[in-house]
Amino acid sequence: MSKKVRVRFAPSPTGGLHLGGVRTVLYNYLFARQHGGDFVLRIEDTDQARFVEGAEQYIMDCLKWCGLEPDESPEKGGPFAPYRQSERKHLYYEYAQKLIDSGHAYYAFDTTEEIEKMRNTYGNDDHKAQYDETTRGYMRNSISLPPDEVVKLLENGTPYVVRIKMPVNQTIRLTDMIRGEVTFDSSLVDDKVLLKADGMPTYHLAVVVDDYLMQITHAFRGEEWLPSAPVHVLLWEYLGWKEHMPLWAHLPLILKPDGNGKLSKRDGDRLGFPVFAMNWTDPKTGEITKGFREMGFMPQAFVNMLALLGWNPGVEKEIFTLDELIMAFSIERVHKGGAKFDFEKAKWFNNQYIHHADNETLAKLAMPYIEDGLKNTGINSRAYDSRLMTYDYLQRVVGLVKDRCTLLPDFWAQAHFFFVTPETIDVAAIKDKWNDQKQQFFSNWAAALEALPEWNEQAIEASCNEHALQAGLKKGDVMLPLRIMLVGGKYGPGVFIIADMIGKEETIKRIKAVHL
């Protein structure tokens, strides 16, 4: 019987969640759902120096917002708890000891200064400046020092780290689900620290031990982890677990829009688009980095866009619901090469999702932006009629303007005139063609509107046509001025439906307010 599929997302809580991280979550999630497996969230917080307050909660909130919730996590618990590596600290020592006993790892007593000195000896040659077969012989460790001295140092409580002893000239092989067979020359990899002086494991030891203990069957992670893979493969082997090693998939990088290198937070700041899933506030500096959520993306659109950033569905179709993605996803169709991020395309996805969303859903999403807009309009901030803030009204409004909205804040920009009298009127747009005849028409028509027995789109339009005819004007002559009066600018849905929606009193007030 084949093993139950178990995958994991294993972030270190060091800051905002990059869209590449969310894509890793997504591919994990899709794979787990497709195979009826489990999706685990494990927090890799063993590096105390990089730990950032609030980052774990933020990661969990991002997953919630995206609708990609794990089956097991620090918050939810699960059969393999705890899911926070700092709470599993006591587990790792035993495995480090096992590696020492079998000769695959050793104690190293070097101070930071001694390591620094060794590195400096090699000048700028990074490749040579590493703790490995060449250097370990003269550094202070349990391989170079006589056994009795090692015992003494240990008994005296001398601080030490445990390092893996990398073999020399060995080809380490890994079959990656995306890249096929990948080989590494063991001589090029340094003796990585496995256990730190504070007793905490490093990422390398903890990731292997936890993937084993948590029975992970497939491990998807970013391409940037590929150089660490040989260390992990050896640890699986040295710990006697090789047959349980998960199948690896190293996901392609997400590249800058011009394809030149990995997309970073700084690129987002520079080019004016978000790189994080949600706003991230640095707890130390208070600096806020913008997120897709706050920019006004719908999570479904964000997730759909990410799915295609590195995965080719093999069909023309681009819009996929999460359920469709679960059906269609295949790790074999994930590219090897990096995927260029295209913000315009990301916005296109959002526009499509807004366009196809039902008005009820959109009303809920647009509501905070409408409320904020009202708050910010100062003197005009009071919706002039409480009727206009009902849910029913809001649903009709979003239905009328949704095709013009790409990001959720657009709902205020495109619909504010349904709620408040426009603050600025683009009179320049109509000034050239303005004349007494038009002025006369609008004052007559405004008076006639007072007496209009029924107030609806058809009745208002019919009355407008009739009065334009009487004034010797064509309907086309009065449409733009009417739009400018009601909306403030040259945009928005049909003018008569706007008049219908904002009501008789407000329509007449706006017509009368404009004098050229």
Is 17 in contact with 299 (CB distance < 8 Å)? no
Per the residue annotation, which of 98, 265, 504, 509 is the catalytic one?
Answer: 265
Give me the residues paired with residue 276 across strands.
18, 291
Find the binder of ligand GLU among 7, 11, 252, 369 (CB under 6 A): 11
**How many beta carbons lie within 10 A of that of residue 80, not counting itself?**
18
Per-residue tokens: 485: 């009066």
Q: Is the backbone peptide bond immediately before 82 cis, with ω within 30 degrees of 0?
A: yes
Among residues 177 and 486, whose Cβ is nearest to ligand GLU? Answer: 177
Find the binder of ligand GLU among 7, 10, 19, 514 (CB under 6 A): 10
Least distance from C-beta 44 to ligand GLU, angstroms?
4
Question: What are the backbone dihedrals phi and psi of residue 127, each rounded to the nearest 5 degrees, phi first?
Answer: -65, -40
Among residues 51 and 122, whose Cβ is nearest to ligand GLU? Answer: 51
Among residues 57 and 437, whose Cβ is nearest to ligand GLU? Answer: 57
From 7-15, 106-114, 249-257, 435-443, span contacting ligand GLU (CB under 6 A)? 7-15
Among residues 153 and 306, whose Cβ is nearest to ligand GLU? Answer: 306
Least distance from C-beta 276 to ligand GLU, angstroms?
15
Strand order from edge to edge, sheet including 161-164: 105-108, 161-164, 193-195
Find the binder of ligand GLU among 7, 12, 131, 234 (CB under 6 A): 12
From 6-14, 30-38, 378-386, 437-445, span contacting ligand GLU (CB under 6 A)? 6-14
User: Which residues from 169-228 bind ligand GLU, rule CB under 6 A?
Assistant: 203, 207, 221, 225
Nearest C-alpha neighbor of 350 from the set 276, 299, 401: 299
x/- letters, 19..58, toward ligand GLU (CB under 6 A): -------------------------x--------------
Least distance from C-beta 273 to ligand GLU, angstroms?
23
| Residue 317 is a catalytic residue | no
Least distance from C-beta 28 to ligand GLU, angstroms?
9
Is 417 in contact with 383 (CB distance < 8 Å)? no
Per-residue tokens: 175: 């079959």
Least distance from C-beta 240 to ligand GLU, angstroms?
20
Least distance from C-beta 239 to ligand GLU, angstroms?
16
Collapsing DSSP to helix, strand or coil, 181 comes out as: strand
User: Looking only at Cα atoms, what is the longest distance across the chain?
Assistant: 112
Give the interface size with ligand GLU as a residue count (CB under 6 A). 8
Rg, C-alpha atoms of the chain: 32
- Closest CB to ligand GLU: residue number: 221
Task: Compute CA 142 distance to the chain's CA centroid, rounded to the nearest angstrom.
Answer: 45
Match 């219908």 to its residue by tokens: 500
**How many beta carbons lie within 10 A of that of residue 37, not counting itself?**
18
**CA-based end-to-end distance of the chain:** 82
Residue 140 identity (one-letter amino acid): R
From 9-17, 265-273, 311-319, 492-500, span contacting ligand GLU (CB under 6 A)? 9-17
Separation of alpha carbons 22 and 282, rounded Å: 19
x/- letters, 225..264, toward ligand GLU (CB under 6 A): x---------------------------------------
Least distance from C-beta 278 to ligand GLU, angstroms?
18
Among residues 10 and 484, whose Cβ is nearest to ligand GLU? Answer: 10
Among residues 32 and 420, whose Cβ is nearest to ligand GLU? Answer: 32
Per-residue tokens: 254: 């997400």
**CA separation (Å) from 350 to 18, 344, 345, 412?**
19, 10, 9, 16
Among residues 50 and 475, whose Cβ is nearest to ligand GLU? Answer: 50
- Outline where 67-179 has alpha helix (H): 89-101, 112-121, 147-155
Residue ranges that bind ligand GLU, judged by CB under 6 A: 10-12, 44, 203, 207, 221, 225
**Residues designated catalytic:** 265
